[in-house]
Amino acid sequence: MNEDKENAVKRKDNGVFFLFRLIMLLILCYLCLIEESIETVMKKIINPWKSMEGYNCFGCSPDNEAGVRMEFYEDGDEIVSIWKPRPEYQGWLNTLHGGIQSVLLDEICGWVVFRKLQTGGVTSKMETRFRRSISTEDTHVVLRASLREQKRNIAIIEARLYDSAGELCTEATCTYFTFPKEKAEKEMYFHHCDVEPEEILPLI
pLDDT tens digits along 123-166: 999 999 999 999 999 999 999 999 999 999 999 999 999 999 99
- Which phi and psi (to 5°) does residue 69 adopt? 50, 55
H/E element, 54: none
User: What b/e readout covers 33-63, taking b as 16+ CB neighbours within 10 angstroms?
Assistant: eeeeeeeeebbbbebbbeeeeebebebbbee
Question: Which amino acid makes up residue 137?
Answer: E
Mean pLDDT of the chain: 88
Give the CATH number, domain containing residue 179. Answer: 3.10.129.10
In tens, the pLDDT along 69-107 reads: 999 999 999 999 999 999 999 999 999 999 999 999 999
Question: Do residues 139 and 179 both lie within one domain?
Answer: yes
Task: Give yes or no: residues 133 and 68 share one domain.
Answer: yes
In a domain, 203, yes or no: no
Which residue segment(s) compose the domain that 30 sits in?
A: 1-40
Tell me the percentage of the chain whose pLDDT exceeds 70: 80
Total count of residues recorded for the chain:
204
Q: Is residue 197 part of a domain?
A: no
Q: Whole-structure pTM over 0.85, yes or no?
A: no
Using an 8 Å Cβ cutoff, are 195 and 41 in contact?
no
Tell me: do 155 and 108 sit in the same domain.
yes
